[in-house]
Structure 1
Amino acid sequence: MANRERNKKILLELVKQPDNSRCADCGAPEPDWASYKLGIFVCLNCSGVHRSLSSHVKSIRLDFWEDKLVEFMKSNGNASAQVYYETAVPPYYYRPQQQDCNVLREQWIRAKYERKEFIGETKYPPLPYTTGFYEGMLWKKGKESTQFLKRKFVLSEREFTLSYYNKEDESKGPKAVISIKDLNATFQPEKIGHPHGLQITYQDGNRTRNLYVYHETSQVRLSFNRFTVICLHQLVPMITRNYLKEGYMEKTGPTQTESFKKRWFILDSQNRKLFYFKGQLDAEELGAIFIGTESKGYSVKECVPTNARGNKWKCGLTVETPERRFVFMCEQEREQREWLEALKKVLSRPMSPQDYTSKRRRTASRGLHETIKAGLSVLESKRQHEEGREDTSCRGA
């Protein structure tokens, strides 16, 4: 009969080895589970996917391990599995990270172990990926409503664009034509409320737009792989980045005497911008804050606003820029701490030449917007004044 404690000790020693100390599939540290069919150590989240594939997983701490299974784990491990199952992973293929959603884990694990797409026997990219053109139907959220409607999307290598149509009738042309170089795509199943939800973000002039789409099956994931093949390899990290932090905060105006309003914030660390929207699934941004470096006059810290009114939340933080001081309120200390840490990560990263260009363009756009807004305000005041004079004149007559 197997020695339970001895086998557990052996497994715990095996999982401390450098190659086994991280999940074989997403890289999460200190995996507590193992597939005794594949001989790999995996994290709790990935073990759930393996269990659905009948990969025979067990907890290395809680389950009973027979001697022959422990010997199998000793003779295999993550490194040897990687040599076999990841011989020919295409450079464009997305590998899930620890924080990614299950749809990304499942797509990777199924392709890697179930379909064995990367062992070198399948020619990559497959023929459908190399045509340079792909079209299909996705469910897209309406700009002003919560309803999702079926829309046609087209990817073109020749045009280097993603287009979508409001109706299946193409005679009126696409509703939007998005340059791939201005695009970012992230999987958002929880946010969109569908396991195959995708958020597509792009620049529309100097404003940021969001499209929220999903497919009934994992076709949205397969479409996205085709999408990355169409793109140049150097662009792949730019169009597939995840946002550093998302969530609700309360925001006040420039003088910090205005009432606080709840807004949805997205921190895009690559572009050094903190976007804010009226709601979580809004198509257009209300504004964006460029986050520079401390040497350029930017900072973030905790705060307790003295003139705050209308705020329901009490955990404050401020973002200082050379032009303005922004005040935000978080619901919990944990959220406050996470926002502070995320913003400090961006602050600590040196600025690139592209960052300076982005800041100048954003500043110019904001200046033009404020000038137009001020001009409209003057015109409105003048109109009201003239109407008041006319009204007085009529009463006198």
Structure 2
Amino acid sequence: MANLERNNRFLFDLMQQPGNNLCADCGVSEPDWTSYTLGIFVCLNCSGIHRNLPAVSKVKSIYLDRWEDSLVEFMQEKGNSTAKAFYEKCVPAFFYRPQQTDCTVLKDQWIRAKYERREFTGENNDLQQAYCSGLFESTLWKKGKDHKQFFKRTFLLSRKDFTLRYFIKEDSKAPKAVISMKDLNASFQPEKIRHAHGLQISYLQGERVRNLFVYHENGQIIVSFFNAIRATRLSYLQKKHPTLGEHDLIPQITRHCLKEGYMEKTGPTQREPFKKRWFTLCSVNRKLLYFKTPLDATELGAVFIGTESHSYSVSENGSRSTRGSRWHHGITLQTPSRQFVFMCELEQEQREWLEAFRKVISQPMTSEDYACEKLLSQLIQNGFIVFVLCENTSVTFCFFV
């Protein structure tokens, strides 16, 4: 018994060492599980995925399981740094490495790619052709623009002209849409789409955001599609910014939404009825978009958020008797042209939105941000985008062309 207790204490000390103190697969701190066949320290969530790979990985808990001397010696010889040097030797720069908060399919396919398929050891480089080649074609289930049904559509991604096309029928010669890589973003949204492999693709169509919601039953195919998008986006950015290195461009390939969820909003006079809307806030383009539902194809309106020095601010609205609102946790967003009032259902949601708004406002604006702000301002002045200001009134969209 004394030796077993000693072994557990020794493993705990190993886990505290640099490299071992972060999960080998998602990076979460203090991983208290191991794959004792691979010699790595992993978190509880990733250990569950390893259990599904019994041919290559077997797991034990540092605290709950009994450890023999031979296994402890093996863990001491290996460790996360040694494993990464072997299993992640040839990971392409664009390949997405999932973090703790990412969805299961991303982490599952990352772990399978590393240890089961050994895609990055240099032994099986041909397995990377699915997402590294200049063309990627796949048939995905896509949600219809104006209804809830999903239909099979063929998608073709081309690195030659930096486009994503999709076709209504497999034998169609003309695509339904040709999407430029310029403003395209892709992010996994399993809860929103209600499918474990749900992927949201967003891009600019004119001056409005267009959302596509897709999935594939096979996790490997949808993750390969996602990484093929990232590969094409990186090539586009490298051509657009030839003086920037991969380190600067990688964060721009795809991005997560900073915050999204339901709030209630009123109109520009603040006398209009409050309406429940789905909001998304992105820190990269500094835009707050709002939709009627989470799965809308296009937004109802957009609000650019600048910095405090440009007269943008956000504050808590403590009024519990705001006219027409069912919710009582208010937020006031001040812009140079208008004051927006939002209401949250829960105080926790109010705090999270305030934190997200303040994070965007505190970020310095880039030259592209100034151009975006100027364009939105001109469109509003010309009546082109009056829906941003009048979405709650009877003239919604009347001036949109």
Q: TM class, shorter-chain normalised? A: 0.7 to 0.9
1:346 alignment counterpart: 360
Residue pair 1:256, 1:307 contacting (<8 A) in 2 also: no
Is 1:154 the equivalent of 2:156?
yes
The change in CA–CA distance for 1:130 and 1:120 in structure 2 (over 3 A counts) is closer
User: What's the TM-score, normalizing by structure 2?
Assistant: 0.87
Distance in 2 (alpha carbons) for counterparts of 1:217 and 1:371:
40
Q: Distance in 2 between matches of 1:372 and 1:229?
A: 37
Greater Cα shift, 125-134 or 314-323: 125-134
SS in 2 for 1:170: coil
Which residue of 2 is the match for residue 330 of structure 1? 344
Equivalent residue runs for 1:33-48 within 5 Å: 33-48=33-48
Distance 1:145 1:239, change over 3 A: farther
Shift of 1:169: 5.1
The structure whose Rg is larger is 1
In structure 2, the residue matched to 1:266 is 280
Matched-pair contact (CA < 8 Å) for 2:119–2:127:
no
CA contact (8 A) 2:131 2:224 kept: no
Superposition map of 1:196-215 within 5 A: 196-215=197-216
Work out whether 1:119 is the aligned partner of 2:121. yes
Retained in 2: the 8 A contact 1:24–1:41?
yes
More moved, 133-142 vs 365-374: 365-374
Alignment of 1:6-25 (within 5 A): 6-25=6-25
Asked if residue 357 in structure 1 is aligned to residue 358 in structure 2, the reply is no
Task: Trace 1:1-397 onto structure 2 (pairs within 5 A).
Answer: 1=1, 3-54=3-54, 55-123=57-125, 126-129=128-131, 131-168=133-170, 170-171=172-173, 173-218=174-219, 219-233=221-235, 234=237, 237-305=251-319, 308-369=322-383
Question: Is contact 1:264-1:277 (8 Å) kept?
Answer: yes
Once the two structures are TM-superposed, the CA of residue 371 in structure 1 deviates from its matched residue by 7.6
Cα distance in 1 for residues equivalent to 2:385 and 2:286: 25
Report the CA distance between 1:278 and its aligned residue: 0.5
Deviations 1:206-250 (A, max 9, x none): 101100011121212222223333343446543421111111111
TM-score with structure 1 setting the length: 0.88
Paired with 2:64 and 2:303, the residues of 1 have a C-alpha distance of 48
Among all aligned residue pairs of Structure 1 and Structure 2, give the percentage whose two residues are the same amino acid: 59
Q: Is the 8 A contact 2:233 2:253 kept in 1?
A: no
Unaligned runs of 5+ in 1: 381-397
* Residue-by-residue CA offset, 1:110-164 (whole Å, 9 max, x unaligned): 0111111111223368445565223221111111111111112121223211112
RMSD, aligned CA: 2.3
Residue 322 and residue 224 in structure 1: after superposition, are their counterparts in 2 closer, same or farther (change >3 A)? same
The whole-number CA distance in structure 1 between the counterparts of 2:315 and 2:386 is 33
More displaced 10-residue stretch of structure 1: 231-240 or 188-197: 231-240
By how many angstroms is 1:362 displaced?
A: 2.0
Code of the residue aligned with 2:197 in structure 1: it is: H
Change (3 A) 1:80 1:323: same
Residues 257 and 308 of structure 1 are in contact (CA less than 8 Å); yes or no, is this contact kept in structure 2?
no
Could you tell me whether the CA contact under 8 Å between 1:95 and 1:108 is conserved in 2? Answer: yes
Closer, same or farther: CA 181–126 of 1 in aligned 2, 3 Å: same
Residues of 1 paired with 2:152 and 2:305: CA distance?
A: 37
Once the two structures are TM-superposed, the CA of residue 271 in structure 1 deviates from its matched residue by 0.6
Q: In the TM superposition, what is the alpha-carbon distance from 1:58 to its structure 2 partner?
A: 2.2
Alignment partner, residue 387 of structure 1: none
User: Which shifted more, 69-78 or 191-200?
Assistant: 69-78
Moved more, 209-218 or 129-138: 129-138
Deviates more, 1:42-51 or 1:106-115: 42-51
SS of 1:149 mapped into structure 2: strand
Distance 1:365 1:239 in 2: 28
Give distance in 1, aligned partners of 2:191 and 2:217: 15
Q: CA deviation at 1:346?
A: 1.4
Query: What letter is aligned with 1:185?
Result: A
Letter in 1 for 2:28: A
Separation of aligned partners in 1, 2:332 and 2:69: 58
Matched length: 376
Q: Find the residue that maps to 1:119 and give its secondary structure.
A: coil
Q: Structure 1 313/63 Cα, relative in aligned 2: closer, same or farther at 3 Å?
A: farther
Is 335-344 or 181-190 further displaced after alignment? 335-344
In structure 2, list runs of 5 or more residues that go unmatched: 238-248
> After alignment, is 151-160 or 20-29 more displaced?
151-160
135-144 or 200-209, which deviates more: 135-144
Equivalent position SS for 1:355: helix
Give per-residue Cα distances to partners, 1:289-315, cap 9 Å, x unaligned.
111111221122211247622322222
- AA at the equivalent of 1:67: D
Tell me, in whole angstroms, the C-alpha distance in 2 between the residues paired with 1:200 and 1:314. 33
Q: Is the 8 A contact 2:265 2:343 kept in 1?
A: yes
Counterpart amino acid of residue 99 in structure 1: T
Aligned partner letter, 1:342: A
Matched residues in 1 for 2:108 and 2:130: separation?
A: 21
